[in-house]
Amino acid sequence: MNCERRAGYSGNPNETWLSSRGAWFTWVSVTLGVHFFLLCVPGLSVPVVWTLTNVIHSLIMFYILHTIKGSPFGAATDGSERYLTHWEQIDGGQQFTATKKFLISFPIALFLLASFYTNYDFGHFLVNFAVMLLAVIPKLPQLHGVRLFGINRY
């Protein structure tokens, strides 16, 4: 796959939105919106809400970025991304770009916030740590293009 790109342009609209203006702000705003919605649910304590926010964010992030392959914009691309996950398509597959650094650091920051607001309760910590690992480990450069146990190979 040719990863050469012109400055400011990518032929794949599936991944350009993450580098566009306001995407990070939107990412944080939607996460905070989910968190504030959960705070409004009667019967949920603050520690449970922080853990739920972390779990919901990490599971959705894992599904969208690491299980869905290809591009819904078939006519706009040459089809070379058909076997690539959304994460592998971001910034043409280049590692450690600003967008990828943000997407790696956000679940870690959310984990730290959730741990703090749950008063480092061991049960909450285990759940938050597990989903943080689920969100961060697949993003490591060593796992770029790797399909564990043949899952999501095709």
pLDDT per position as a tens digit, 2-34: 444 444 445 566 677 777 788 899 999 999 999
DSSP bridge pairs for 67: none
> What confidence score (pLDDT) does residue 25 get?
93
> What confidence score (pLDDT) does residue 80 get?
66
Place of tokens 């796992």: 143
CA–CA–CA angle 95, 12, 77 (5° rounding): 130
| Average pLDDT, rounded, for the chain | 83
